Amino acid sequence: MIKPLKRPDFELHLGAGSKIYDKAGELRRNLTPAEEKLWQALRNRRLCGFKFRRQHPLKQFIADFYCHEKKLVIELDGEIHQHLVNSEHDEGRTFELERFGLTVLRFNNNEVLQNLNEVLEKIRKALEY
């Protein structure tokens, strides 16, 4: 499925290609428990009235959650992200996204599953800027 990219779409997705769109759709259908829990708190403008998108294509990446209005990316990291190689990959990914003027917040899955209110408070503070 190839989506034609118009200028507003290009800005919203930073020119993501059709393969990234397809992968994002697959990920949307298979959320992790932590992603599902956070999505229930963010969807339908439930957090401070801001619109969030889940598994959102951005260039060659897929953000777990994205608020375009505030250029805020939220990433959830499972246990696999704690390994050195994966954490280095995540740092590189954060660096690349920040080059586009985006802010990236990272939480591990346990934070979301066990302390959702704290996670939401950190997101609220980021939305204030």
Is residue 1 situated within a structural domain? no
Is residue 2 situated within a structural domain? no
Is residue 43 situated within a structural domain? yes
Is residue 91 situated within a structural domain? yes
Indicate which CATH number applies to the domain containing 61. Answer: 3.40.960.10
Tell me the C-alpha distance between 59 and 17, whole Å.
7
Name the domain count of the chain. Answer: 1
Per-residue pLDDT of the chain (129 residues; tens, 9 = 90+): 444 444 445 578 878 888 988 999 899 999 999 999 999 999 999 999 999 999 999 989 999 999 999 999 999 998 654 544 556 767 888 999 999 999 999 999 999 999 999 999 999 999 997
Is residue 29 situated within a structural domain? yes
Please list the alpha-helical segments (H only) found in 1-129: 7-13, 18-28, 33-42, 84-99, 109-114, 116-127
Longest dimension (CA), the chain: 41
Is residue 87 situated within a structural domain? yes
Is residue 82 situated within a structural domain? yes
Full residue range of the structural domain in which residue 94 is found: 7-127
Q: What is the pTM of this model?
A: 0.83
First-to-last CA distance in the chain? 36
